[in-house]
Homo-oligomer: A and B are copies of this chain.
Amino acid sequence: MWKRYSTVVTSILVADRQDSFVTRKISETNLEYGGVPGDLHFGLTKLAGTRELMYERGSEIFNRRQVSIVSVEECAIIAEKLGVHQVLPEWLGANIVLEGFEGLTGLTPGSRIIFPSGAGILCEGENLPCLGPGKVLQENYPNERKLSTRFIKSSLGLRGIVGIVEQPGKISAGDKAEIVAYSHSD
């Protein structure tokens, strides 16, 4: 039911600007309950928005979208589908970039990503595409047409996952991490 895979953490990133979800690379961080300290999405709770229409808009809910994780391979596929040179993890607001694990976005919720320090992230499933990153893409490729809407369609199933910090601890660019994948079919 559980399978283990190796992957490499190519980058750690944080969205620590006042006015943007765009992230920037940092060499390491100490994951806390709630996410990446200083990040826009950090917190054990958040306000319900368009992704949580089952709750009253603006009401406080538990934050299951603490950390955003993407893969080098899937970002490259999105870029290819859009016909652009590259799709940077920064533009997607990603906090962690992994390389060497195929099909990250399809990782079953309940799976874990475990880091050498012991820190671990609980997978909450696919990060469904929204308009924001597409707009950033459009700004970076002003000569391409309709990137902001094309991004949503092109990145479905490829835009990475969100997760909850299950065990706090240090994570660093270059870490070799383990994916403990849960599978119903085995």
Taken together as a complex, chains A and B put the C-alpha atoms of A122 and B180 apart, in Å, by 21
Q: Does A45 sit at the interface, judged by CB under 8 A?
A: yes
Tell me which residues across on chain B come within 8 A of A48, comparing CB atoms.
Answer: 167
In the complex, which residue of chain B has the Cβ closest to the Cβ of A165? Answer: B62
User: Which of B44, B114, B164, B167 sits near A60, CB closer than 8 Å?
Assistant: B167
Interface 0/1 of A49-63, CB less than 8 Å to B = 000001110011110
Do B122 and A62 touch across chains, with their CB atoms under 8 A apart? yes
Do A166 and B33 touch across chains, with their CB atoms under 8 A apart? no
Cβ distance A178 to chain B, nearest Cβ, rounded Å: 8
Do A62 and B124 touch across chains, with their CB atoms under 8 A apart? no
Do A180 and B109 touch across chains, with their CB atoms under 8 A apart? no
Do B55 and A33 touch across chains, with their CB atoms under 8 A apart? no
Do A109 and B109 touch across chains, with their CB atoms under 8 A apart? yes
Q: Does A160 sit at the interface, judged by CB under 8 A?
A: no
Q: Does A134 sit at the interface, judged by CB under 8 A?
A: no
Q: Interface residue tally of chain A, by bracket?
A: 20 to 34
Q: Does A125 sit at the interface, judged by CB under 8 A?
A: yes
Q: Does A103 sit at the interface, judged by CB under 8 A?
A: no
Tell me which residues across on chain B come within 8 A of A182, comparing CB atoms.
Answer: 125
User: Which of B44, B110, B118 sits near A55, CB closer than 8 Å?
Assistant: B118
Q: Does A133 sit at the interface, judged by CB under 8 A?
A: no
* Chain A interfacial positions (CB closer than 8 Å to B): 33, 44-45, 48, 54-56, 59-62, 64, 108-110, 112, 114, 118, 120, 122, 124-125, 164-167, 178, 180, 182
Q: A62-B164, A64-B166 known; 6 other A-B pairs, CB under 8 Å? A: A54-B114, A55-B120, A59-B118, A109-B124, A110-B124, A125-B182
